[in-house]
Amino acid sequence: MIKAIPFDYPYDGRLVAENTALIVIDLQQDFLSTSGYFARKGYDPSPLRAILPTVNRLIAAAREAGVMIIHTRQGYRADTADMTPYEKWRRKRAGLDGTDVLLRSGAGFQIVPEIDVAPRDIIVDKTCNSAFTYTDFELVLRAQGITHLMFSGCTTDVCVHTTLREACDRNFQCLTISDACASGDRQAHEAALHMVTVEDGVFGVLADSDAVIEGLSRLSGRHEATDG
């Protein structure tokens, strides 16, 4: 089990590598670069960049344990045919008309090079805050027998939390990794983390990366023994 609050994860003590996935949400150039969407909206991307070493440590530990790694990327079609009128209005209001910011055809759509993405990792592309909306994310999870999700990425209060909430409603067992998530709004980040633990874990549990890596190391030992 992984030491977490308000209870250790998972609640029934059945953590199995083959049923678990590390979710790495939206660590893209458009959110982490000084010229991307996030910066153009007036937010400081440095808190997002600060979690990259931690996320890579988690990725390495997950791979060693035999845990699946799923990355998400947010962006729209180059022709914006999948962009709602409201999103087009927000885009124009932000002065982004005529740019490739948040378009899948732009360089900003790509995951930052600092993140270790392996060929066997799964990448899910999305247009909405939730990785479940209009994607094959849930199909992939069900097809692979995934029942337990561990969340990292950005931003804590928007895409991470929206995906987390939907995952809980779909009966996945969820853990949010507190120091592997980030937001440009510190208050929103802290509130989002706090909301995980209310009502005795209404959105699962909260743990730091050290606790998760320690738990994964025990899984790694079992994984190697099984392979052997």
Active site residues: 26, 126, 159
**Residue 93 CB neighbours (<10 A):** 9
Residue with tokens 């150039």: 29
**Residue 1 CB neighbours (<10 A):** 15
Of 115, 36, 113, 5, nearest to 71 by C-alpha is: 115
> DSSP 3-state assignment of 75?
coil
Cα torsion through 169, 174, 176, 180, rounded to 10:
-110
As given in the structure block, the two tokens for residue 167 are 């995952």
- Whether residue 119 is preceded by a cis peptide bond, meaning omega within 30 degrees of 0, is no
Of 155, 159, 192, nearest to 49 by C-alpha is: 155
Of 136, 8, 146, 3, nearest to 67 by C-alpha is: 146
